[in-house]
Structure 1
Amino acid sequence: MAIIALGINHKTAAVELRSQVAFAPERVEAELHSARQALGLSEVALLSTCNRTELYLHGEVDDQAILAWLAASRGVAVAELGSCYYSYRDQEAVRHLMAVASGLDSLVLGEPQILGQIKSAYAVGCQAGTLASELHSAFQLAFSTAKTVRSQTAIGQNPVSVAYAAVALAQQIFADMSSARALLIGAGETIELVARHLAERGVGKITVANRTLQRATELAGKFNAEAVLLADIPEQLAAADIVISSTASQLPILGKGAVESALKRRRRKPIFMLDIAVPRDIEPQVGELDDVYLYTVDDLEEVIEDNLRARQDAAKAAREIVEIEAERWFRQRRSLAAVDTIRAYRSAVDALRCEELARAQAALERGVPAAEVVDALARGLSNKIMHAPTIALRQASEAGREDLLALAQQLFDLN
């Protein structure tokens, strides 16, 4: 059975399709059971972030069956997924997982958040009981490889992320950050990173809006910011120069009407808005308003290019590490494939040994001299061990199978 990695990401699909295919965190466990049952697989894990949705599986199933389940689960057409998906098997699948965990396949090369997201996907799979030995070992290898990449290359130095790129884009618009006021929607890891980068650049004021006030207050306390509820956003918009949103909401949080009202109160003073959520938090129609500069995660790519150049050399070294670990894993996997054959061979030889030993003991009991018994034992055992290979070699020679003869010479060390 194969290890399979299948998915879509920021390189293959636009943000609209990625939004449709993304899984809400509270639904992942149920979807894992659904996929395993529908596809008849032994193991399933699901990674769903703003930039990628990937299934990791162990079993025998073709791509079309997986795509059909994914399309039905997310309510999209199979044809839409068929034009932008990728699929890897066995060594290539494990290599891909290691590359993703190491940040080599991220929108921001080397960003560290993806490793935490993969660990979360692994934990959910463990909790759901949809992981067993094969995916366990693949994920553990990915974790250890990512750690090696971080410790042995410079890819983790001067850390950058989607959050870093978001603030960098805002800084291009607001040269004097000290006079800007930021409204951050959400209180997850990405928004916390955005808040940290904004604070480091001396932004004038930060307000954190979240579904629960407690979490908003906890995050705001780290950056001397104000905490509000999502319901307070319309009032906060009028004072916000920078709006950055990243929540797990399945529906837009900000609509065109609310932003239009805020602009009137601001007397048409521009607002920079960045929606880095998938699905989107801000309705696309907001971008049609004058004095609103609305960007999505896909718009960050140009900003990120500057950060990539400094990481290319480190990425080369990281990919070498991934390649070495993938090859090592594949060799170990191939060696395990011989275990059953070796066990069967040893069992067959041991049966011959027992048979010849019983014959020898009977001869000793009859009074046959020990020297004759030992000689007969050795001769009988060697003849029986050689019997099957000898017949197979003769048949190979008759069939002109020079390749098998050469392999036999290597196997029996006859060179």
Structure 2
Amino acid sequence: MTFLAIGINYNTAPVAIRERLAFPADTLHTSLLDLRQVSEISEAAILSTCNRTEFYCNANTSDEKFLIDWVAETKSIDPNAFKPYLYTHADNQLIRHMFRVACGLDSMILGEPQILGQMKSAYQTACEAGTLGKDLGKLFQQTFTAAKKVRTDTAIGSSPVSVAFAAVQLAQQIFSNLGEQTALLIGAGETIELTARHLTQQGIGRLIIANRTHAKALALAEQFKGLAIALAELPSHLAEADIVISSTASQLPILGKGSVESALKKRRHKPMFMVDLAVPRDIEAEVEQLRDVYLYTVDDLQNTIDQNMDSRRRAAAQAEEIIDTQVDHFLAWLRAQSAQTVIRDYRLQAEQTRDEALQKAIGLLKNGGTPEEVLTRLAYSLTNKLIHTPSTQIRDAAANERHDVIAAAHEIFKLNKT
């Protein structure tokens, strides 16, 4: 059997192709059952995210054509429309690829942790569909082990590399307990959504989302259990905010020095932490002059992010070394599986020899033989039968100068050289 995978990702295919090959979560179970019906496949799993779709199989061929044909038929798309964007991995190459994907080494953002959870979901869905067997199931388990070791032994995911995460981490450094703070987010785009998600994950006490389009603010606020307000309402809510993070497409500042100064008076000069992620800036530069404001711009955070990316790249080099070791571990397990048939056959042969010798010994006892005589003959007969075939093979190996067989015999039988 051959481990085989085909896939596309953010590097190889535009979003127009990626979305056509995507498998929604609610159809994945049925698709897996259908894929498992392909005659060449014994095991299968599908990983489908916004940035990649990959099909993992244990197959009786290394030719990916059958897999491409299945995808084309399932998605009702001409194979030539997506084949130029495909990559293929088999056996050792696939093992390494899965390990690198799970560790975030193949991600758009180096070291991002979400992909590991997505791979675990793919594994769980395949388990529930019954499309995983011993080998591919073990490969997934080893993949998770490799990812855990990389996360534990390197700094691949310890440093923020998005401005949203960097802003939240900076807020955590300033406020010891985010659960007691109120955050005001200005905007409703991707950066603000990501910021809201990070703040929620860190247990922010209260969330206010302001946007020019109230409906967008409301949709985001409902998602994160916050309060939605219009931009016009900012002056009446600004004093409530311990944390202000802004990212809009406005060409003019949204918060001026005067409005922030008024909010500080209402707060009795309780400090405010402000991050302006917009270009052009949403918060007037003069706000930084106010004593009780800690104002950071996207450039301030970018320096940190650049340093953290360097840190992640160094960690990625360490991760590759760990992956090398984990690949070796899995290959050793695979090789051990190939020996199971030999071990089983050898055991069956030995048990058959034992049973035959035992029946003869029981017969001798029934015919009046003394226990001592019967045991002695049993031991002698059993020893001769067990060593006869190996002895013959070793003599033949010596006659044919098969020194490798003789060396293997020393190792297998743990013989002391004389």
- Please confirm whether the aligned pair reaches a TM-score higher than 0.5, indicating the same fold: yes
Instruction: Provide the residue aligned with 1:286 in structure 2.
Output: none
Alignment partner of 1:241: what SS? coil
Instruction: Report the Cα distance in structure 1 between the residues aligned to 2:67 and 2:148, rounded to whole angstroms.
Output: 31
**Residue 381 (structure 1) shift:** 1.4
Query: In the alignment, residue 25 of structure 1 is paired with which amino acid?
Result: A
Instruction: Provide the residue aligned with 2:13 in structure 1.
Output: 13
The question of whether the paired residues in 1 share the 8 Å contact of 2:103 and 2:150 is answered with: yes
Where does 1:54-203 land on structure 2 (aligned, <5 Å)?
54-61=54-61, 62-79=63-80, 81-160=82-161, 182-184=187-189, 192-196=193-197
Query: In the alignment, residue 27 of structure 1 is paired with which amino acid?
Result: T
Alignment partner of 1:72: what SS? helix
Query: In the alignment, residue 104 of structure 1 is paired with which amino acid?
Result: L
Matched residues, number: 330
Instruction: Provide the residue aligned with 2:284 in structure 1.
Output: none
The 3 A distance-change label for structure 1 pair 350 and 142 is same
**Residue 158 (structure 1) shift:** 2.2
Instruction: Report the Cα distance in structure 2 between the residues aligned to 1:82 and 1:327, rounded to whole angstroms.
Output: 31
What's the % identity of the aligned pairs? 38
**Residue 225 (structure 1) shift:** 4.1
Q: Deviations over 1:21-62 (max 9, x none)?
A: 223333322322222223542322111122211112223243
Instruction: Report the Cα distance in structure 2 between the residues aligned to 1:310 and 1:352, rounded to whole angstroms.
Output: 63
**Residue 358 (structure 1) shift:** 2.5
Instruction: Provide the residue aligned with 1:241 in structure 2.
Output: 249
5+ residue gaps, structure 2: 169-184, 231-246, 251-277, 281-304
Alignment partner of 1:42: what SS? strand
The question of whether the paired residues in 1 share the 8 Å contact of 2:101 and 2:115 is answered with: yes
The question of whether the paired residues in 1 share the 8 Å contact of 2:209 and 2:228 is answered with: no
Instruction: Report the Cα distance in structure 1 between the residues aligned to 2:310 and 2:100, rounded to whole angstroms.
Output: 18
Q: Deviations over 1:36-94 (max 9, x none)?
A: 22354232211112221111222324312112222333344434544443333344433
Instruction: Report the Cα distance in structure 2 between the residues aligned to 1:16 and 1:27, rounded to whole angstroms.
Output: 20
Larger Rg: 2
Tell me which of 222, 240, 244 is aligned to 1:218: 222
Query: In the alignment, residue 44 of structure 1 is paired with which amino acid?
Result: A
**Residue 102 (structure 1) shift:** 1.6
Q: Deviations over 1:118-151 (max 9, x none)?
A: 2222233233332344333332332333233223
Instruction: Provide the residue aligned with 1:52 in structure 2.
Output: 52
Instruction: Report the Cα distance in structure 1 between the residues aligned to 2:3 and 2:163, rounded to whole angstroms.
Output: 30
Instruction: Provide the residue aligned with 1:3 in structure 2.
Output: 3
Q: Compute the TM-score of the two structures, normalised by the length of structure 2.
A: 0.65
Instruction: Report the Cα distance in structure 2 between the residues aligned to 1:29 and 1:271, rounded to whole angstroms.
Output: 44
Where does 1:309-320 land on structure 2 (aligned, <5 Å)?
309-320=310-321
The question of whether the paired residues in 1 share the 8 Å contact of 2:4 and 2:64 is answered with: no
Instruction: Report the Cα distance in structure 2 between the residues aligned to 1:102 and 1:318, rounded to whole angstroms.
Output: 8
Instruction: Report the Cα distance in structure 1 between the residues aligned to 2:44 and 2:138, rounded to whole angstroms.
Output: 13
The question of whether the paired residues in 1 share the 8 Å contact of 2:35 and 2:70 is answered with: yes
Instruction: Report the Cα distance in structure 2 between the residues aligned to 1:90 and 1:156, rounded to whole angstroms.
Output: 28
Instruction: Report the Cα distance in structure 2 between the residues aligned to 1:125 and 1:208, rounded to whole angstroms.
Output: 42
Alignment partner of 2:111: what SS? coil
Does 1 or 2 have the higher relative contact order (CA < 8 Å, sep 6+)? 1
Query: In the alignment, residue 219 of structure 1 is paired with which amino acid?
Result: Q
Q: Compute the TM-score of the two structures, normalised by the length of structure 1.
A: 0.65
Instruction: Report the Cα distance in structure 2 between the residues aligned to 1:57 and 1:210, rounded to whole angstroms.
Output: 45
Q: Deviations over 1:244-280 (max 9, x none)?
A: xxxxxxxxxxxxxxxxxxxxxxxxxx999xxxxxxxx
Query: In the alignment, residue 344 of structure 1 is paired with which amino acid?
Result: D
Instruction: Provide the residue aligned with 2:33 in structure 1.
Output: 33
The question of whether the paired residues in 1 share the 8 Å contact of 2:29 and 2:125 is answered with: yes
